[in-house]
Every structure is written in C-alpha cells, then in structure tokens.
Amino acid sequence: MAEAISAKKGCGIGLYIVAAIAIVFIAMNSFVVIPAGNVGVKSLFGKVDPTVLSSGFHIVNPLVTIERMTVRTQELTEEAIVPSREGLSVNLDVTLLYSLVPDKAPEVYRTIGSNYTQVVIEPQFRSVIRGATASYDAKALYTSEREVIASAMMSHLEPLLAPRGIRVEKILLRSMTLPPILSDAISKKLEAEQQAEQMKFVLDRERQEADRKRVEAEGIADFQKKVADGLTEAYLKWKGIEATQKLAESGNSKVVIIGAGQSGLPVILGSDTAQGR
C-alpha cells in the first residue's frame, strides 16, 4: 500500500515537472523581439502568414516559426569582364544598393526564400551589367557618361526586381580597367581634344582682340575726320588772331608784325629774334 502511494506521488511530481517545462517552453516561444531594421515573417506548419511583424516586442503563437528578414539598405558588388560596343573587354567594378520592401517580405520568403540575394538579385544584376555596357563605347566608361550608363542599368534592373519585392536604390560604377593599348589611345585622344579646345580658345581671344583694335582704329579715324572737316581756313585764322591777341597782352617782350606770313596772320617774334634782325 505504501509503495502504491509512493508511486502515485512520484507520477504526480513527474507530471508537474512536465507541465512546468511545457509552460516555460510556451512562455519562451510566445514572446518575440524583432530587432530594428528587420521584419518578422510568420509561418505555421509550412503556411506563411501574409502579415509581417514590425520591429519591437510581440506576443505570438508559440508554435509559429519566425523568420527575421532585414529591410535595411544592402550592398552587392560585382566585378565583371563586360563587352563594349566595339567588342572590347573591360574590367568593371559595379555596386548595387538595394533593400527589401517590408510589406513584400512574406511573399519573398514564400516564393524565393531568405537567400533571395543569391537566387534573384545577383543573376539579374550580372545580366543587366553586360547588357548595358554593350550599348556604349569603352570611352564612355572613362568619362562623364558613367552616370548615364548607371542610370541605364537602373532603368533595366528596377522592372525585374520591383515585382519580386526588392527596391533598387542606386547603382554605382566604382572603377574600371581598360586594356593597356586602348587606355593609352584614349588618353592621347583626350589630350589632343584638350589641346584643340585650348587652341580654339586662343584663336577666339585673338579674334576678339583684333575686333577690338579694328573698332578702336575706326573710332580714331572718325574722330580725325571730324576734326579735319571742322578745321577750315577761316576757323584757323580766327584762332590765330585770338592767340596773337593773348600774346600781345602778355608781359613778355616780343615783336608783332601785322599782316606778315602767307596766311595774312600776324607773326610774333620773341625779343631774341627781334634783336638778331
């Protein structure tokens, strides 16, 4: 009898222990914390819940599995040998900045999985890089047209990734390496173009200077012509009379000969000249 009672007590204690463990398990799995910059995707027995858990503290079904997926900006860098329009091979280093659309996280997890970068983004990105560069000359990758090429890549990549719940933020052409022969040829061509532009600037400046001197000469010629037209014989005689009058009125010693000279104007001699005569 005592043994039966002892067995019952042992069984009861075991049940209590199992119940306590179950309660602890349920409590631990009912409270979920989603880190900042992440969302939680819920799945129960293989079925994915279309709603997401935002960052913070949540109480959930303890049987639910939570997959944490980042919605922060992520970086993907590709180093590829791409063709140019001339058929040359160029080493190109391109960076893609992308992020997961929070509301699309359950769909991405259900249709692709948490490794969506390797499954979807990388192959599409590589394909777009090669397709975009094939439409431009190698020189374009070396000049300011780099931004145009990056924009073209974005316009091709966005329609491919947006329906899958992935946002394309920016594409950066970080560096590129041309074949040595082509690199030297482009450098020489750019140098020749810069010299041509400099020579054009010098010629334009000289042409403007010539135009300025021509205008200045024309102005001087017009002035001289107007002055010459205004210097009539009567005007000169009148000015000569005025000058004679002022000299005659000055206190310096002089000799004034009235009516002398071919023009009939007075001839004024200083004191030294008068004594010599």
Helix axes 122-133, 146-161, angle to 10 degrees: 140
Q: What is the mean pLDDT of the chain?
A: 78
How many other CB atoms sit within 10 Å of the CB of residue 38?
A: 20
Looking at residue 146, what is its pLDDT? 80
> Could you tell me which residue, 92 or 275, shows the higher pLDDT?
92
Looking at residue 41, what is its pLDDT? 92
The whole-number average pLDDT for the span 21-39 is: 74
> Could you tell me which residue, 273 or 203, shows the higher pLDDT?
203
Please identify which residue in the block is written with the tokens 């374009």: 140
pLDDT digits (tens, 9 = 90+) for 63-104: 888 899 999 999 999 888 877 777 777 788 899 999 999 999
The whole-number average pLDDT for the span 157-173 is: 93
pLDDT digits (tens, 9 = 90+) for 242-272: 777 776 666 665 555 555 455 555 555 555 5
Strands (E), the chain: 31-34, 38-44, 47-53, 56-59, 65-70, 74-83, 89-100, 166-177, 254-257, 267-270
pLDDT digits (tens, 9 = 90+) for 124-148: 998 888 888 777 777 677 677 788 8
Looking at residue 195, what is its pLDDT? 84
How many CA atoms are closer than 13 Å to the CA of 26, on its beta-carbon side?
7
Taking alpha carbons only, the member of 12, 59, 14, 13 closest to residue 34 is: 59
How many CA atoms are closer than 13 Å to the CA of 197, on its beta-carbon side?
6
> Could you tell me which residue, 3 or 162, shows the higher pLDDT?
162
